[in-house]
Amino acid sequence: MNILITGAGSVMGQSIYKALAAHDFGEPLSIHFANSIELGAGRFFNDPRARVTAVPIFPLAADPNFNAFLEDYVATSKIDIVFAGTQHELAKISAYRDKTLKAATISQEIADICMDKLRTAEVMEKHGVRVPRTQSFEAYLENPSIGGPVIVKPNHSSSSRSIYRFESHLAATESEIVQSGKEHSFLVQERLAGDEFTCGCYVDRYSKAVKLICFRRTLTPDGATFYGEIVTDPRIRTYVSDVAHALIDEGMDFGHINVQLIMDETGPCLFEINGRLSSTEASKAHFGFNSCAAFVHNIVRQEEFTGWDIAEAGRFLRYYEELYF
């Protein structure tokens, strides 16, 4: 089976690789590990269960020729399935998925909802799912409807970039600081207080079953999870299931999302949905939740994935290794 993974230099791409290598598909895997530059740690991975047989250089996702290059590479190399290893490529590869059904992403329509945090809040509210009070930055400055501590962040972003925390209504000098990041479109959101959780959720293409795994987590400064502990709180599980069914009602046919939420005094409340795989795919696979394998069964083998064996307890710590060459 020929598998293309992008983002060999990203933690997410490398985690996808490890999750695929952890599953017994009953046949050898040939991994094409792509990156936009020569250096990328994943290009030097070579688990015998998933041999890295090619290390192509791909254009950046922002390149207008990205999809043409991708389609040509898939055809020439006889790729069976494509995995997006970075957030930057999600929009392009989800469009390719809609065209070919050969990519391990959700549909472009649902990915667009997840990548637009204002729209995420609107859609969830429409379906009765609790979200933080949220306004566009411009609407907040004109007529703020959110009192108390707030978070200001880009409407489209990942990895905790360009996030500002304020204890009360933004003063003029503070709003000037935010507006200096002109490359971003910002939003203002009620600041939640409580433990943070990351919850993997997969909707099967054939059975439509919704599978979940939730971790209480601690983050690195760049937004990656470096410690996680499985939780089975029924309130969180019900909440994440409600999120999934809201997206199903919006047209989600199958695939994986990652729900980021905080448990406060009222209960669970998401602050964003990552409409993609994550940097914790290897950890989730270790505990019996392998979305990467589910995508292969749903897309390549065109069958329901029945390999779930989700643990009810477990913890992980992420550490870093070096490659020498």
- CA 45, distance to chain mean position in Å, is 22
Could you give phi then psi for residue 204, rounded to 5 degrees? -75, 140
Residue type at 81 in one-letter notation: I
If residue 174 lies in a helix (H) or strand (E), which one and from where to where? Answer: helix 172-179
pTM: 0.92
Q: What is the pLDDT of residues 38-69, one digit of tens each?
A: 999 999 999 999 999 999 999 999 999 999 99
State the CB neighbour count (10 A cutoff) for residue 171: 10
Specify the higher pLDDT residue, 170 or 190. Answer: 190
Q: In the chain, what are the domains?
A: 2-104 (3.40.50.20), 111-116+193-317 (3.30.470.20), 133-190 (3.30.1490.20)
Least trusted range by pLDDT, from 187-191, 209-213, 230-234: 187-191
Cα 21 to chain centroid, rounded: 19
Instruction: Look up residue 36 and give its DSSP letter.
Output: S
| Distance in angstroms (rounded) separating the CA atoms of residues 324 and 302 | 40
Mean pLDDT over residues 129-148, rounded? 89
- Range 230-237 average pLDDT: 97
Do the beta carbons of residue 33 and residue 43 sit within 8 Å? Answer: yes
Which secondary-structure segment (H or E) carries 18? helix 11-21
| Residue 262 main-chain phi, psi, to 5 deg | -125, 140
User: What is the token pair recorded at 190?
Assistant: 């009620």
